[in-house]
């Protein structure tokens, strides 16, 4: 089977490289290597950090995007996951660096390369309308609110959000029943229980599913211990967690997730198309898959 190239809209790094800390050359190296895995477009994702560090990371990614050459996965924009989250659902993020959700605080790190912002909508104080006015995708994540009316999408459904409760609204419940918004899912076999995955794929319209990896620098590397989000992370070959056991992100790339979903009978090729429609973009190239959905060939000819 032939499909379009994959688009990774939520990942923090791989090959030992962390987008929060990566140099321009490291980002360029990553964008070249990741194309070999059928990933033709990327949204480098920034975890919560200080304003200064966040701004510098964004500027390095922007500079790398200007220096890209053929044979590299295209840098499509920055996914800002940090800073505007709810401390009650901080997950691996450092809540000491969270800021109120105001336009003034966003201007501290604002740049036109930011294309997605994950935030807690229940804490909004004018930021969502400001972002919508800039045509930036607003995604609910690391939050507890059930009102997603102003959101374009939901970040890693089920993880770091209020869970389904039959007596009250919640972020997860709203994500499942709202057919108008896109929903990310980490289907790596670690972040979401199998029955919850089945519920997700039964509930969401097929054209609103966003497969993501949310992968970490240890992915496709020899790293077993590293610092991420101001914490030391330990990777045991399957899970990457803080010393206290908090999941820090996944450790596999999108092709591995697709192969796994296919083996469970949960994959639909339309999932590969969805990010193209969500972001209204097009990338030249294709991926050839075998019957088990392992990659046989990546075609990036112009």
pLDDT digits (tens, 9 = 90+) for 219-232: 999 999 999 999 99
Provide the H-helix boundaries in the chain: 24-33, 51-66, 103-107, 127-133, 171-177, 194-203, 254-263, 270-279
pLDDT tens sequence across 137-148: 999 999 999 999
Mention every residue, 6+ apart, whose C-beta is less than 8 A from residue 25: none
Under CATH, what is the fold of the domain 2-299?
TIM Barrel (3.20.20)
The domain ranges of the chain are: 2-299
Give the mean model confidence (pLDDT) for residues 93-119. Answer: 98
Q: What's phi and psi for 231, nearest 5 deg?
A: -130, 150
User: Is residue 151 within 8 Å of 178, Cβ to Cβ?
Assistant: no
Residue 301 has pLDDT above 80, yes or no: no
pLDDT band at 198 (very low <50, low <70, confident <90, very high): very high
pLDDT tens sequence across 161-183: 999 989 999 999 999 999 999 99
Across the chain, mean pLDDT equals 97
pLDDT tens sequence across 52-88: 999 999 999 999 999 999 999 999 999 999 999 999 9
pLDDT band at 123 (very low <50, low <70, confident <90, very high): very high
Question: Nearest CA to 285 among 2, 5, 1, 76?
Answer: 5
Q: What per-residue confidence (pLDDT) applies to 115?
A: 98
Q: What per-residue confidence (pLDDT) applies to 300?
A: 85
Give the mean model confidence (pLDDT) for residues 152-157. Answer: 98
Residue 302 has pLDDT above 60, yes or no: no
Mention every residue, 6+ apart, whose C-beta is less than 8 A from residue 104: none
Give the mean model confidence (pLDDT) for residues 7-20. Answer: 98
């Amino acid at each position: 089977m032939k499909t379009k190239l994959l688009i990774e809209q939520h990942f923090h790094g791989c090959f030992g490289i962390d987008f929060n800390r990566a140099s321009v050359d490291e980002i360029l190296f990553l964008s070249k290597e990741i194309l070999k895995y059928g990933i033709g477009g990327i949204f480098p994702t920034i975890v919560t950090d200080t304003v200064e560090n966040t701004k510098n990371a964004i500027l390095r990614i922007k500079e790398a995007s200007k220096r890209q050459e053929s044979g590299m996965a295209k840098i499509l924009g920055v996914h800002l996951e940090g800073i505007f989250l709810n401390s009650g659902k901080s997950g691996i993020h450092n809540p000491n660096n969270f800021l109120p959700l105001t336009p003034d605080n966003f201007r501290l790190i604002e740049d036109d390369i930011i294309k997605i912002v994950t935030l807690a909508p229940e804490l909004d104080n004018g930021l969502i309308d400001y972002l919508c006015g800039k045509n930036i995708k607003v995604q609910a994540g690391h939050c507890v609110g059930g009102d997603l009316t102003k959101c374009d999408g939901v970040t890693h459904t089920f993880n770091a959000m209020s869970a389904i409760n039959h007596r009250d609204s919640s972020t997860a419940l709203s994500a499942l029943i709202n057919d108008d918004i896109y929903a990310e899912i980490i289907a790596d076999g670690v972040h979401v229980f199998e029955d919850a995955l089945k519920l997700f794929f039964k509930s969401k319209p097929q054209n609103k599913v966003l497969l993501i990896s949310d992968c970490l620098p240890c992915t496709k590397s020899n790293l077993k211990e590293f610092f991420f989000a101001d914490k030391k992370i330990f990777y045991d070959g399957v899970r990457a967690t803080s010393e206290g056991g908090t999941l820090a992100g996944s450790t596999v790339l999108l092709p591995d997730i697709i192969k796994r979903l296919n083996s469970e009978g949960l994959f639909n090729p339309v999932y590969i198309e969805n990010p193209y429609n969500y972001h209204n973009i097009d990338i030249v190239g294709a991926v050839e898959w075998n019957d088990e959905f392992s990659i046989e060939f990546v075609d990036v000819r112009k």
